[in-house]
Amino acid sequence: MGWKRVALIILAAVAIVGGGAYYWLIVESHAPADGHFALDMEEIRRLADVKPGSKAVEIDAEKVAAFSFPLTAVIAGGGWKKVEMPVYSYRLVFPDGGTAIIDTALDAKVGGSQLASFDAAAYERMSAALDKASLIVVTHEHMDHIGGLTEHADLKRILPAVELTQEQVDHPERSVPAAFPEGALNGYKPLVYDHYLAVAPGVVLIKSPGHSPGSQMVYVQKADGTEVLFIGDVAWKFRNIELVRERARLVTQFMLKEDREAVFAELGELHRLHEAEPKIHIVPGHDGEVVDALENAGVIKAGF
Ligand SMILES: [Zn+2]
């Protein structure tokens, strides 16, 4: 065999292996068959009525910052075009004036050079809203959801309103570079629950580990019966649910260390739920089009 032939064979092998690796890391998004996740809406709705008091009359969204990711990082096989990944905090307003916060975004220091944009005024409004809230929950322990909390100037004072789960507290390594100050959670009693937990009138937490160990969805039923399901980063975009398609494996396996099988099961169940009950408004973690549409429809109000 001549050296040219050997070189050709090596080149062909590299192309095949490299092509396979590219496909596996960047494009492949086949749902495994054995995951299991169920959203029992009958039980979730029952729990929404468990806490005494009036349900929220308003849901506000504050867009604090944005990332910019290649589409294939968001939806495997989507190509390299950059897409905006807005970062939100949400506020529920109850008729007695009480408020609850879902997700706290992140500050400019935590976001650093990863941020494509940052709205300092929006962050200040969000941070001030944390001061007044009677309940603060996060969908998961990643920096763009918990960062506004870890960096809050008066964490000790607002901590009684903060309801982190055991898993969120147990995995600070998932929050970096966001981190609670040394000792800030000493003596803190996190939430411990198995599947669903009612935390306020019309508000139910839904345990959804996979994207991170402490991931949960937040079901909100407004006083007028409107239903909104904040799914955190189970999906970054609604398209993930439509296609039942995950982020690229390079992101899920090597950057996020996701339980990919669990996330696929959740995407499949959200897909089923959307087909069965299209009136439930599903809000992915970073989908500006979904939030804009809900603002236009009057389900969510823009700004705190
Ligand atoms: Zn996120």
Q: Where are the domains of the chain?
A: 3-28+39-302
Percent helix, strand, coil in the chain (nearest 5)?
A: 40, 20, 40
Contacts of 251 (CB under 8 A, 6+ apart): 73
Report how far ligand 1's centroid is from the alpha carbon of 1 (Å): 54
Distance CA 145, CA 148 (A): 7
Percent of the chain with pLDDT over 70: 99
Report how far ligand 1's centroid is from the alpha carbon of 96 (Å): 31
Specify the range with the lowest mean pLDDT, choosing from 9-18, 52-61, 175-184, 280-289: 9-18
Distance CA 157, CA 87 (A): 25
SS3 44: helix
CATH class name, domain 3-28+39-302: alpha beta
To the nearest 10 degrees (0 to 180), the angle between helices 120-132 and 143-150 is 60
Backbone angles phi, psi at 227, to 5 degrees: -115, 130
Report how far ligand 1's centroid is from the alpha carbon of 285 (Å): 6
DSSP labels, 61-92: EEEEEEEEEEHHHHSTTS-S-EEEEEEEEEEE
E strand or H helix at 294: helix 288-296
Report how far ligand 1's centroid is from the alpha carbon of 166 (Å): 19
Report how far ligand 1's centroid is from the alpha carbon of 287 (Å): 10
Report how far ligand 1's centroid is from the alpha carbon of 145 (Å): 6
Report how far ligand 1's centroid is from the alpha carbon of 148 (Å): 13
If phi > 0 it is left, if psi is from -120 to 50 it is alpha, else beta; for residue 53 that is: left
Report how far ligand 1's centroid is from the alpha carbon of 18 (Å): 30
| Residue 227: strand pairing partners | 221
The residue among 168, 175, 181 whose CA lies nearest residue 218 is 168
Report pLDDT digits (tens) over 82-131: 999 999 999 999 999 999 999 999 999 999 999 999 999 999 999 999 99
pLDDT band at 45 (very low <50, low <70, confident <90, very high): very high
Cα 176 to Cα 141, 171, 180: the distances in Å are 9, 10, 10
The letter for the amino acid at 108 is A
pLDDT at residue 26 above 90?
no
Report how far ligand 1's centroid is from the alpha carbon of 67 (Å): 9
Report how far ligand 1's centroid is from the alpha carbon of 69 (Å): 12
C-alpha triplet 263, 232, 200: angle, nearest 5°:
120
Report how far ligand 1's centroid is from the alpha carbon of 88 (Å): 9
pLDDT band at 1 (very low <50, low <70, confident <90, very high): low
Report how far ligand 1's centroid is from the alpha carbon of 233 (Å): 5
Q: Is 185 exposed, middle or buried (0-12, 13-18, 19+ CB in 10 A)?
A: middle
SS3 217: strand
The letter for the amino acid at 301 is K
Report how far ligand 1's centroid is from the alpha carbon of 144 (Å): 5
Mean pLDDT rounded to a whole number for the chain: 93
Report how far ligand 1's centroid is from the alpha carbon of 77 (Å): 20
pLDDT attached to residue 36: 87
Residue 16 CB: number of other CB atoms within 10 A? Answer: 10
Residue 61 CB: number of other CB atoms within 10 A? Answer: 23
Distance CA 17, CA 20 (A): 5
Report how far ligand 1's centroid is from the alpha carbon of 30 (Å): 23
Report how far ligand 1's centroid is from the alpha carbon of 286 (Å): 7
Residue 230 CB: number of other CB atoms within 10 A? Answer: 24
Report how far ligand 1's centroid is from the alpha carbon of 234 (Å): 9
Whole-model pTM: value is: 0.92
87: tokens are 């970062």
The residue among 210, 211, 207 whose CA lies nearest residue 190 is 207
The pairing of strands 216-221 and 196-200 is unpaired
Contacts of 51 (CB under 8 A, 6+ apart): 198, 199, 200, 201, 202, 203
Report pLDDT digits (tens) over 163-199: 999 999 999 999 999 999 999 999 999 999 999 999 9
Report how far ligand 1's centroid is from the alpha carbon of 66 (Å): 10
Report how far ligand 1's centroid is from the alpha carbon of 44 (Å): 24
Report how far ligand 1's centroid is from the alpha carbon of 142 (Å): 7
Q: How remote is the C-alpha of 7 from its chain's centroid?
A: 48
177: tokens are 């570079």
